[in-house]
A and B are shown apart, each in its own frame.
Chain A
Amino acid sequence: MIAETGLAALWLAAALCGLQLVFGVMALRSDDSGVATAIRPVAVVQGILTALAFAMLIWLFLRTDLSVELVAANSHSAKPWLYKFAGTWGNHEGSMLLWVAILAASGALVAVFERRLKEKTLIATLAAQAAIGLGFYAFLLFASNPFARLSPAAAEGRGLNPLLQDPGLAFHPPTLYFGYVGISIAFSFAVGALITRDVGPVFARAMRPWILASWIFLTLGIAAGSYWAYYELGWGGWWFWDPVENASLMPWLAATALLHSVTVLATRDALRAWTIMLAVVAFSMSMLGTFLVRSGVLTSVHAFAVDPRRGTFILALLIIYIGGALALYALRVGTVREGSRFEFMSREGALVVNNVLLSAILGIVLIGTLYPLGVEAVTGEQLSVGPPYFNATAGPLALLLVAAMAVGPLLRWRRDEWRNVMGRISLPVLISSLALFALVMFASPIGILPMLGLILAAGVAAASLAPLWKRNLRRTPLFTYGMVIAHLGIAVSMAGMAFESAFSEEVLVAVRPGDTHQVGPYSVTFDNTRPVAGPNWTAVEAGLTVQRGDGQPFTLAPQARMFSSPQTETSEAAIRTAWNGQLYTVLGNGDGSGRWQLRLWWKPFVTLIWLGGILVAFGGLLSLIGRVRRERKTMEREAWA
């Protein structure tokens, strides 16, 4: 009955979604206030129903109900409960249901909380959200039904990919999806504003918190995914320019650009058409990513069951929605006035530089991700585009972008003078020069990108704090603090990346018990190996005694795990975090005669990468709170007047 309840809830939600679209269109065509007032409750109930359907699926997974096809194919009764729970979205159908649930929840949240937008635009927005929803409900119900029964029931489930059996699975996909799918709100806002020709500062201020919220989740989700890959894959890499990573990075780049252009629109009523375009692009990138990851055109741990029919279905949705939005844009963009102009040397100018660079990086990532697919489709030849390409093309642009980020917040709106700007950035430039001097004098020679990264990070960290200089800190608005912290986070993260790639130490050895090796500040002694068993795996565990200088010795125990269902081997790295970096240890294969492969890394300041990511997200949160508060106050004041 649980599965049937879930399916019924999903069908009902789909029906309400259709109703929401019809009501929206009706309300826009006539001034029927009855239909207009019904649209908000419909959106809310639709959100609740999909949440219910999703809860039902979680319940099925927690009970390991093997009469449900999805559970039998992807779960196992001997799995720890956390992975039964998180395994709900560790498969194609479950993750698509989560996708749709978040889409519906986004619409419901807009229906409940959005008070700033003009009523007509809000109705158009909710109708657009419903139009997207309909396609994906159809995809779920006709091509990816998570509640399909299996008769007779399976005796035991086939289990979950062991790489996914990690607490990361409970956190990374939902967080990422909240951002990934939440940005659909920006898309619907843009479509709504195009329909009602309502692009302006009020619209921008209404849209901004929604962009911020999904951007925060997107940032956290990407950072979490990166750290998960880092400790789970066992080779110490934290970003691989894998197409799946790119699929999450592209919406983030677009959303980051959008976040900045919407500020120009809100403050100065400029960049109108461009902001609308970015809002369309951001969610288009999410849908494109969903297609790439869920259609099976890529092989990855993220691509689950591969079924060509599904790929075609999502591709059709992609073409309809992106094509439709772009067609609407082309029709209406003539009626959107360009807005006011400004000088290059101004806050707006810097934000345009930000947008040009972010868009160029987005374009490069997009080209690099799709080009091999295009070549394969045309010539049948397989081609790889990886880190060397992206580092060489997007790397320099990213550095330029960060440099612009240091200067931008120090500029005035409208126009500024070169002389004054030079004065304001002299201290950060001095700090960067000192960093350059220190690197050249005291460090071993390093690559050009990490070198520039470190120098810039030092100056940018200082520059990011500069907007607080000589200000009354108690009267500085919260969103200014948000910006400062987010920009500081970028500098921190970049420093981590540069340190890691420039100064990491690697030791790959075959060891016998008693052997000691030095890596970074640590000496690592291999004591022994012993067998250990978990609920659904067995493992060989190494005992390592580690000492830093004359400090207290401690032990680390990396494992080589063998999972039984499905049969897979994974390596569980053992990591020691110090204030200035991480010691990363992995146990490899044995040679049968008592020698074991050991991989040891000392990664100085590597944790800054993710700490920076968290700072960026935290800055976003402060900004969000600050903006919402300010909007509230404005609305109260308007109500009084």
Chain B
Amino acid sequence: MTRWLAAMILATILVGPVHAQSRMAGAEWANQQLPDPTQEAEAKELMESLRCLVCQGQSIADSDADMASDMRALVRRRITEGEDPEDIRAWLVERYGRWITYDPPMDAVTWPLWLLPILLVGFGVWLARGRFRTRKRDG
């Protein structure tokens, strides 16, 4: 409980800048879609892969928390300004750390995460091959 509280307080402090910005312009985008369907689709994909920092394992696209709506407003506003979704993600990761993105970027800490699935499949295939009899030997 204390850890969770601490995380919440921390997140509230961290999110200060987002708060300030969203209050200034574009707060209406928290709960409204962008008129351009392509832009909205881009924003939605990004929002679904950003963690709501004060929630219990929800993305900002799936949360009623104030912080999530502020971040939705931020994402949609920046998309309308023509920013690339991955740049927005990088900007957020730089400020709030890797915790904020559900799509872990490939870097020094996360490369094993992306490599292991491939190794797993390879290992599985290698292991299974030993079970099979080749047709030649079978005659």
Instruction: Give residues in A with beta carbon < 8 Å to B.
Output: 233-235, 237, 240-244, 270-271, 298-301, 305-306, 341-344, 349, 352-353, 355-357, 359-360, 363-364, 367-368, 371, 375, 379, 381-389, 393-394, 397, 415, 506-510, 569, 571, 588, 597, 599
Contacts and interface: CB of A to CB of B under 8 A. Distances in A.
B97 A381 contact: yes
B61 A235 contact: yes
Contacts of A382: 97-99
Contact of A588 (B4, B31, B103, B124): B31
Nearest to A237: B62
B131 A393 contact: no
A341 B117 contact: no
Q: 9 smallest A-B Cβ distances: which pairs?
A: A386-B102, A388-B103, A356-B124, A382-B99, A235-B62, A341-B133, A363-B120, A393-B117, A242-B57
Given A360-B120, A384-B104, A508-B32, A368 B113 contact: yes
B33 A384 contact: no
Interface size class of B (residues with CB under 8 A): 35 or more
A353 B121 CA distance: 11
14 contacts: A237-B62, A341-B132, A343-B135, A353-B128, A356-B125, A356-B127, A356-B128, A360-B124, A364-B116, A371-B112, A371-B113, A383-B99, A387-B59, A388-B103
Interface string B52-65: 00001111011110
Interface of B: 1, 3-4, 7, 28, 31-33, 44, 48-49, 51, 56-59, 61-64, 97-104, 109-110, 112-114, 116-117, 120-121, 124-125, 127-128, 131-135, 138
Given A271-B131, A367-B116, A506-B33, A383 B109 contact: yes
Contact of A388 (B44, B49, B109): B49
B32 A360 contact: no
Contacts of A300: 56-57
A354 to B, nearest CB: 10
B136 to A, nearest CB: 11
Contact of A270 (B98, B113, B131, B138): B131
A386 B56 CA distance: 13
A243 B56 CA distance: 11
A262 to B, nearest CB: 16
A387 B116 contact: no
Contacts of A306: 1, 3-4
B117 A363 contact: yes
A533 to B, nearest CB: 21
B49 A240 contact: no
Contacts of B133: 341-343
A539 to B, nearest CB: 14
